[in-house]
């Protein structure tokens, strides 16, 4: 992951944002050599949220604390997909 000082990043922000969006590679912003923020693509965050939701589902299923879901036919009805 590339690291760029915050001061330099400010001058290159437009290019950095496009780079992150295009390559989906995060860029670390540093201050005095320490990472203080990350530029990440929205898709990377959505992928992370999906992975966390799946992990939480598996954990609750393994613990036996999974609440009853909505039957597939009911979901189709709600979405108008009969």
Q: Is the pLDDT of residue 26 over 90?
A: yes
Which residues have C-beta within 8 Å of that of residue 17, sequence separation ≥ 6? 39
| Helix/strand/coil for 65 | coil
What is the pTM for the complete model shown?
Answer: 0.66
> From the CB of residue 3, how many other CB atoms can be counted at a distance below 10 Å?
12
- Tell me the C-alpha to C-alpha distance, in Å, between residue 60 and each of 46, 51, 63: 21, 14, 5
- Which is more confident, 38 or 70? 38
End-to-end CA, the chain = 47
């Amino acid at each position: 992951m590339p690291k760029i000082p915050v001061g330099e990043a400010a001058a290159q922000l437009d290019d950095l944002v496009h780079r992150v969006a295009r390559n989906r590679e995060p860029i670390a912003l540093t201050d005095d050599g320490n990472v203080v923020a990350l530029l990440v693509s929205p898709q990377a965050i959505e992928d992370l949220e999906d992975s966390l939701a799946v992990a939480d589902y598996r954990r609750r299923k393994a613990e036996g604390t999974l609440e009853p879901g909505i039957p597939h036919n009911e979901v189709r009805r709600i979405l108008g997909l009969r």
